[in-house]
Chain A
């Protein structure tokens, strides 16, 4: 069943084939066929090189500009946001900024918000688009089916959001995309149609995840590629929260009295005789 045999494992014990690139000391550092120092450094954007590393394709400059905008608009310097809290706690614990940025960023690998929602949202809009196109399902049928799948809840990945209705990030990113001369593709058109229906029925709108997944799907990216490209999307806000709290005295970030944690467990009780067991 395995695709590899013992002789394959033996061959790979000390040999390392790599399609992305690598360092040939004294010659060059290669990246997907480019000489990094001569062809890429100072010539392409960081996000172009990120997408190149992940997909093997060097994207156009305007896509890098769109990625920059997406990374800015989703990463806020507000320590109340769950991932940013980790940055603030890291500062309070006097952990390193790398611990803060790494683990705060990891916190957003979540099904509620952040990067963890992106592969789910991308798979969903691509699946719904296929149903819309091939099975001729109407937008109404699609919405009803997804609400039924969630036991009657309006809980469709990419639509609605915690804490507030509406989404200023979608407005900003739609404006940015327009300025970069991007047209709405088939996935975005479907997402907008779903949004319109949800808005009319429930006053809920598309959220940033829904926008991003539809946009990336229109450009042909897979769910896995989307997750990889946006792996660090909240790090900016996490580091901001770390930097703010690192300057303050320890224990000063929302300090808690003993009574501020409500104990809801068993009442005080005596230990049983431990020699019996």
Chain B
């Protein structure tokens, strides 16, 4: 007889949370107020005087200051993907939030949530990073050969959305030429890494399937080259795209509601089910 009565597991929870990132030194008379801070061991005051945003970003997430190649790669990533297209669902959400006069503090978090999706969003970056990390030791042509049976049976819509070979797919029924252009910015440079190179090889092999880069695939490969784990991919993608989303939302905020399209009643077709 199963007894469902509740009994605490008395798990050994720690008394304090811990962090490798940030250290605060309190003022003498009040243990809640801060006198001095260190980031990853460096005096924060000194960091603010000598480091730029990219260096601080790298240090914050990866624990060390970047070398020249690492810095160039991260900087190119941050500027290249600073904003999704205004036609991306997350940008459209930001504009809708702004135009709908949502409290401005909600524009960014709500649109970032949409930028976390499995199609052209953060979740796709994470899953692509997992795919790359699991397979980048195998030559792309061989890896694809192994996938042949799976691809033959795969749902074609999911394949096009980049949700079978995560990060690689189609947009509007074709290989996205703009994503290919963006990928080229990162390839063949002194800072190009092995994961991105592997993905470029994979893209070549995927041509017969009419599958190419999605922007999420490029971000995923670069994040792998920078040394991030897959679970960091979703949030980092959102963070990288955040400035563009907020910019679109803020631009929309002062506009009147008639400055945005609204589907006419005669074009709104309630399908009889």
Q: A and B, one complex?
A: yes
- Asked if A1 and B159 sit within 8 Å, CB to CB, the answer is yes
Q: Tell me which residues across on chain A come within 8 A of B6, comparing CB atoms.
A: 164-168
Question: B4 and A265: CB pair below 8 A?
Answer: no
Select the residue from B210, B265, B269, B270 with max chain A CB neighbours within 10 A: B270
Contact with B along A160-181 (1 / 0, CB 8 A): 0011111110110000000000
Count of chain B residues with Cβ under 8 Å from any Cβ of A?
Answer: 67
- Partner of B210 from A1, A56, A261 at Cβ < 8 Å: A1
B38 lies within 8 A of A261 (CB): no
B267 touching A16, Cβ below 8 Å:
yes
* Structural contact, B32 and A166, CB atoms closer than 8 A: no
CA distance A6 to B68 in the complex (A): 44
Q: Which of A3, A25, A30, A262 is in CB contact (< 8 Å) with B270?
A: A30
Q: Is B7 an interface residue, CB under 8 A from the partner?
A: yes
Number of A-B contacts (CB under 8 A): 167
> Complex Cα distance A130/B26, Å?
60
B156 proximity list for chain A (CB < 8 A):
1-3
A260 to B18, CA, bound (A): 9
Q: Are B9 and A33 in contact, with the CB atoms below 8 A?
A: no
CB of B51 to closest CB in A, whole Å:
7
Contact present for B172 and A2 (CB under 8 Å): yes
Q: Are B271 and A17 in contact (CB under 8 A)?
A: yes
Q: CA A24 – CA B266 in complex, angstroms?
A: 9
Partner of A258, one of B26, B41, B51, B210: B26
Interface pair B26/A33, CB less than 8 Å apart: no
Given the complex of chains A and B, what is the CA–CA distance between A5 and B173 in angstroms? 7
Cross-chain contact B41 with A205 (CB below 8 angstroms): no
Asked if A265 contacts B63 (CB within 8 A), the reply is: yes
Chain B, 9-56, CB within 8 A of any chain A CB: 9, 11, 16-26, 31-32, 34, 38, 40-43, 46-47, 50-51, 55
A17 and B269 contact, CB distance less than 8 A: yes
- What 15 additional pairs, Cβ within 8 angstroms, besides A168-B6, A262-B17? A1-B209, A3-B156, A3-B157, A14-B267, A17-B271, A99-B106, A166-B3, A170-B4, A251-B32, A263-B20, A265-B19, A266-B63, A267-B41, A268-B43, A271-B46
Give residues in B with beta carbon < 8 Å to A: 2-9, 11, 16-26, 31-32, 34, 38, 40-43, 46-47, 50-51, 55, 63, 65-68, 71, 103, 105-106, 109-110, 113, 156-157, 159-160, 170, 172-174, 209-211, 261, 263-265, 267-273
